[in-house]
Amino acid sequence: MNRKIPVVKEILGANDQVAAENRRAFEETGVLAVNLMASPGAGKTSLILATAGRLPDSIRPGVIEGDIASSIDADTIAAHGIPVVQINTGGACHLDAPMIRSALPHLDLRAIDILFIENVGNLICPADFALGSRLNVVLASVAEGHDKPYKYPGIFTVADVVLLNKADLMAVFEFDLDSFRRGVTMLRPQAPIFVLSCRSGEGVDSWVQWLIAQR
């Protein structure tokens, strides 16, 4: 048993060490790096596009796309003229710091002010791996139901901000916003919650203003 524990520690330690290097690279180049975590289909790519489209010209976005397979999202981002790198994890259920490090040489960090890192769609595993980002953003969706903070507490406990997408469908899904808010606040009292819809645009401005103020 003694042999196994050091191996696990070593792996976690290595990730944290690379995450610290990434963080330094972001700080030195004035990049606000954002780790965007959500279930599959919550609207991560839509959020990035809605946010990037509302930034003033002086704040330049960049994107790292994490997916198990495909470049569907990166193609969408690139079509909007935003610098983007695709990471295919090849099966891994989350991004890690070495993956981010390997993506950085493909981005001109001095030409990016806010770097959105779209994690693999997963409400569990990404919470355990630091990437070197400064903000953890957890994006939930009305379509998933209001009980997610109670069922997947771990990821909410590491959130610096919680976004609730697809708010235009609140009535359709009989979403209990009070219950959702109570769950988030119980787990992470300091995290602001923004209710928005990337499709209708409602609520997106408030989130973007908050984000800009974090720079």
Binding site for its own copies (CB under 8 A): 3-4, 7, 39-41, 67-70, 72-73, 91, 93, 120-125, 141, 143-145, 147-148, 150-154, 166, 169, 172
Residue closer to its own copies, measured from CB, 21 or 176: 176
Q: For the chain, what's the residue count? A: 215
- Which uninterrupted H or E stretch holds 150? helix 148-151
Of 29 and 71, which has the nearer Cβ to its own copies? 71
The distance of closest approach from Cβ of residue 101 to its own copies in the complex, given in angstroms and rounded to an integer, is 22
The CA dihedral of 141, 150, 176, 185, to the nearest 10 degrees, is -90
Q: Residue 160 CB, nearest distance to its own copies (Å)?
A: 20
Closer residue to its own copies in complex, CB, 4/178: 4
- Nearest CB to its own copies, comparing residues 31 and 162: 162
Q: Which amino acid is at 133?
A: S
Q: Which of 38, 213, 181 is nearest to 205 (CA)?
A: 213
The arrangement of strands across the sheet holding 84-88 comes to: 84-88, 61-67, 114-118, 32-38, 135-141, 161-165, 193-195
CB of 72 to its own copies, least distance (A): 6
The CB-of-108 to its own copies minimum distance in angstroms stands at 27
